[in-house]
Amino acid sequence: MSLKLRFLLVAAALMLGASLLAWFSFQYMAERIVEQWGRRVAEVQVQYDSARLLQPLEREIALAHQFANSQVLRRWAENPDAPLLRAQAISEMESFRRNFIDRNYFVALRSNGAYYHNNAENDFGDDPLRYYLRESRPADAWFYQLIEEGRDFHLNVNPDVELGITQLWIDVLMRDAEGEILGVVGTGIALENILEQIVDIDQRGITTLFADVNGAIQLYRDPRFIDFASFVKPEGQKRTLDLLFDLPADGERVMERMRRLRDAPLEQPSVITDFVTVDGQRHLAGIAYLASIGWFEITLLDLDEVMPVASFAPALGLLIAFLLVALLLFYWVLHRQLLSPMAALRQAMGALREGRREVHLPRGSGEMGQLIRHFGDMADEVTRHTEALEAKVRERTEELERLARVDVLTGLLNRRGMTLLLEEQTARAARDNLAFGLIWLDLDRFKEINDGAGHAAGDQALCEVARVLEAGLRRYDHAARWGGDEFLVLLTPCEVDELTAIAHRLRREIAEQAHYPGGGVTVSVGACLAQPGEPLGNALQRADEALYRAKESGRDRLVVA
Ligand SMILES: Nc1nc2c(ncn2[C@@H]2O[C@H](COP(=O)(O)OP(=O)(O)OP(=O)(O)O)[C@@H](O)[C@H]2O)c(=O)[nH]1
């Protein structure tokens, strides 16, 4: 895997790790923010929802209390059959009816169970006696239960079977001067209106409901959950908050919070918040106790709906974009500062390895620049050394080649050197149609010199002959030690007279000038004129035969083939 790819993978992995960390931190922080914000909203919403119910309700309750305290009404309740008192009472009832918000009232008398009611349409203005309550009738249980419990005030969400309406009833006990209960009076507010104005408001993600001290649901946007006439129901049959929550533990916790709120001293926070699960969604519940009506207001906030974490998506998008730009920037800097110079450096190293001298080095800064400069110096040094080494090798090779062609004892060409020369000359002679001369010289009785005066003297005799030959030749002629005590001279160009003259002269000069510690040296000489185109072997054989004849005929003489 290339360094570039490795760097990129490491960088991408780091970025990914950082992104994941950022994402989880972001989610954690977003959830905390939403939660904190949700708690504030829940507190405010609870108070707002409570106020919306209490504002109209408290006025109605106060009016209902006045209604129950009416002297006219109380006098009549004590003597329900007195016509004058009845007429006054009905007039009083009508007067209150016009003041109640939904323009209706009810008066139920304990003495005879008579139930009086007139509605907003004034349908029963002339004869408000609607029916008689009966203790045996379950629908009338509310009346008897209230009297039995002696509750002076009670809110009751209850359908009136006789009247065919479902209302939030404000029930207030009417008592005589001694506190004896005379009946129950009050008014009803159409449940529909209340639900519409107070709990079924169109606020996305916000659910408002009211429950009594037992957790029985009193007002909720879905009437099926409302626990109608809950105070007359036995425990266990009530529609309580548990119905709304997915988890039983949520219901228990909310009930516990409600008890805490009801028993709390006034300075304690009037709203408690807690998380509950409703319809599979986590909701934040805000709970407040409305002491004046004995109910609890519960606001459920679906945080995903009210403040979805997704609304932070632009911030996340920005974060991802930033990370991507950072990755690109990182790659760009990495490429420019490291990868690109390194690739060029690698290329330069390859070129140097292949022996190319022109190495183009990249530019770089910092440590990379230093590395490139050091490499450049090293490359120069290697080039210098290589060139010096090559020159030395060339020199040595030439020297070896020269030595391979030279006889080490005499310094003349050796047999190999002379053979190369002869081959060249044979070719040139054929090309230029020129003859060349060959003179073959062999020391006479050399064995005797060796044996008599010693091998060193023999060597000296050989060197002497070589010296005389070299001194006696023309600039363009060549002499070689052909082997042992034999010498070969090449004369180029050459005619037969010239050949004979030179051969004579050489034989004579040797006899006169070549000496060794024991005396002089003579040579026998065979010469021939090699003709243009004549094979070298042939010419050499002719010279050799001439030499043989010179030896045969007494030595120290010349025979020309
Ligand atoms: N000192 C010395 N002797 C050599 C060298 N090379 C060959 N010889 C001797 O040269 C002698 C050559 O003898 P031959 O040419 O056979 O005979 P010769 O004694 O010269 O007699 P002819 O040629 O018949 O006159 C031998 O004894 C070789 O050992 C050398 O480099 N140095």
CA distance 228 to 158: 5
Higher pLDDT, 504 or 57: 504
pLDDT of res. 343:
82
Query: Minimal CA–CA distance to 443: which of 413, 405, 410?
Result: 410
pLDDT of res. 83:
94
The reply to whether 203-307 and 406-560 are identical in fold is: no
pLDDT of res. 266:
67
pLDDT at 541 over 90: yes
CA distance 378 to 510: 61
Query: With helix as H, strand as E and coil as C, how does 222-242 read?
Result: CHHHCCCCHHHCCCCCCCEHH
pLDDT at 1 over 80: no
State in Å: Cα 526 to ligand 1 middle. Answer: 17
Residue nearest to atom 26 of ligand 1 (CA): 447
The band of 437, judged by pLDDT with boundaries at 50, 70 and 90, is: very high
CB neighbour list of residue 26: distance below 8 Å, 6 or more residues apart: 312, 315, 316, 319
Average pLDDT, the chain: 89
Q: Is 290 left (phi over 0), alpha (psi -120 to 50) or beta?
A: beta
The band of 190, judged by pLDDT with boundaries at 50, 70 and 90, is: confident
State in Å: Cα 488 to ligand 1 middle. Answer: 16
In CATH, the number for domain 70-193 is 3.30.450.20
485 tagged catalytic: yes
Residue nearest to atom 16 of ligand 1 (CA): 447
Cβ < 6 Å from ligand 1: which residues?
442-448, 450, 455, 458-459, 462, 484-485, 551, 555
Report the share of the chain in percent with pLDDT over 90: 52
State in Å: Cα 485 to ligand 1 middle. Answer: 5
Alpha helices (H) along 264-339: 303-306, 313-334
pLDDT of res. 162:
67
Report the share of the chain in percent with pLDDT over 70: 97
State in Å: Cα 463 to ligand 1 middle. Answer: 14
Rounded to the nearest 5 percent, the helix, strand and coil shares of the chain are: 55, 20, 25
The full set of domain ranges for the chain reads: 70-193, 203-307, 314-397, 406-560
Please give the span between the terminal C-alpha atoms of the chain, in angstroms, as a whole number: 81
pLDDT of res. 98:
96
Looking at the predicted complex, does its ipTM rise above 0.85? Answer: yes
CB neighbour list of residue 297: distance below 8 Å, 6 or more residues apart: 46, 49, 50, 53, 208, 209, 210, 287, 288, 290
Higher pLDDT, 166 or 189: 189
Lowest mean pLDDT among 376-390, 408-422, 476-490, 496-510: 376-390
pLDDT at 148 over 90: yes
pLDDT at 163 over 70: no
Residue nearest to atom 4 of ligand 1 (CA): 484
Q: Which of 447, 549, 552, 553 to mutate to test the pocket of ligand 1 (most atoms within 8 A of CB)?
A: 447
CA distance 530 to 398: 31
pLDDT of res. 105:
96
List, in sequence order, every beta strand (DSSP E) within 389-485.
436-443, 478-483
Mean pLDDT, rounded, for 476-487: 95
State in Å: Cα 484 to ligand 1 middle. Answer: 6
Q: Which atom of ligand 1 is nearest to the CA of 443?
A: 20
Estimate to the nearest angstrom the gap between the alpha carbon of 329 and the chain centroid.
14
Q: Which of 410, 446, 482 to mutate to test the pocket of ligand 1 (most atoms within 8 A of CB)?
A: 446
Catalytic residue among 102, 227, 444, 485: 485
Mean pLDDT, rounded, for 226-234: 81
Residue nearest to atom 22 of ligand 1 (CA): 445
Mean pLDDT, rounded, for 234-241: 81
In CATH, 406-560 is 3.90.550.10: no
203-307: CATH homologous superfamily? PAS domain (3.30.450.20)
pLDDT in tens, 366-377: 787 888 888 888
Higher pLDDT, 131 or 340: 131
Q: Which atom of ligand 1 is nearest to the CA of 483?
A: 6
CA distance 216 to 226: 8
Estimate to the nearest angstrom the gap between the alpha carbon of 541 and the chain centroid.
90
pLDDT of res. 357:
67
Residue nearest to atom 7 of ligand 1 (CA): 484
State in Å: Cα 522 to ligand 1 middle. Answer: 13
pLDDT in tens, 404-425: 999 999 999 999 999 999 999 9
pLDDT at 268 over 70: no
CB burial readout 189-227, b (16+ within 10 A) else e: bbbeebbeebbbeeeebbbbbbbbeebbbbbbeebeebb
Higher pLDDT, 355 or 225: 225
The band of 495, judged by pLDDT with boundaries at 50, 70 and 90, is: very high
pLDDT of res. 161:
65
Lowest mean pLDDT among 307-316, 329-338, 397-406, 446-455: 307-316
CB neighbour list of residue 241: distance below 8 Å, 6 or more residues apart: 211, 215, 217, 251, 254, 255, 298
DSSP state of 216: B
Q: Which atom of ligand 1 is nearest to the CA of 555?
A: 25
